[in-house]
Amino acid sequence: MEALSRMILVLVANGHMTGYLIGTPGGGSINISHLLFADDTLVFCEANQLQVRVLKALLLCFEVASGLKVNLDKSEMMPIGGVQRLRHLANTLGCKTGTLPMTYLGLPLGAPSRVVALWDTVIERVEQRLAGWKRMYLSKGGRVTLIKSTLSNLPTYFLFLFPIPARVALRIEKLQRDFLWGGI
């Protein structure tokens, strides 16, 4: 994956791919061309035929050089904003099209960040954990330990990307309090 990353960076440095500019061009901006996590890769480029062809050539070169084949049947092209001829671009690359919001690594991408419903999965996970624990077999110290070690950490992953609404924080706190004091 390091080789693929470097290949993408060379294409961006030579102006063959653009990436996605975050921030203001005058100051404090960063160009993100790709994100890698384990065997998942997100590549950002302009929605035009030339850049999609360059991306396809890059993937073919990577396959030849590394012996690893990118499974384009499992890949999706996601438009950001209005994209003309998206289906044509996806056919050029040989992948499917998708829409935002989508879930990537357990996080909803492209969803409005202040929506309370975004946190429903976190609340459901807290409730599932609580349902699996048998309160009657745990001491108060055991319940405190489970709350601190597990329940308090469930929202942390989401907090990297989204601010927690006060209503959601209060709901999670109430679930923890009820579990501690025997209300569940």
pLDDT digits (tens, 9 = 90+) for 34-63: 999 888 899 999 999 999 999 999 999 999
What does the pLDDT read at residue 152?
Answer: 87
State the pLDDT confidence band at 135, using cuts at 50, 70 and 90.
Answer: low
With 0-12 / 13-18 / 19 or more C-beta atoms within 10 angstroms meaning exposed / middle / buried, residue 164 is middle
Task: Please state whether beta strands 20-24 and 107-109 pair in parallel, antiparallel, or not at all (unpaired).
Answer: unpaired
Give the pLDDT confidence score for residue 49 in this predicted structure: 95
71-87: pLDDT as tens digits: 999 999 999 888 899 99
Mark residue 32 as left, alpha or beta (left: phi above 0; alpha: psi -120 to 50; beta: remaining). Answer: beta
Please provide the average confidence, as pLDDT, over all residues in the chain: 89
In this prediction, residue 161 has a pLDDT band, given cuts at 50, 70 and 90, of: confident
Kindly calculate the radius of gyration of the chain based on its CA atoms and give it in whole angstroms. 22
pLDDT at residue 183 is higher than 70? no
Residue 12 has pLDDT above 60, yes or no: yes
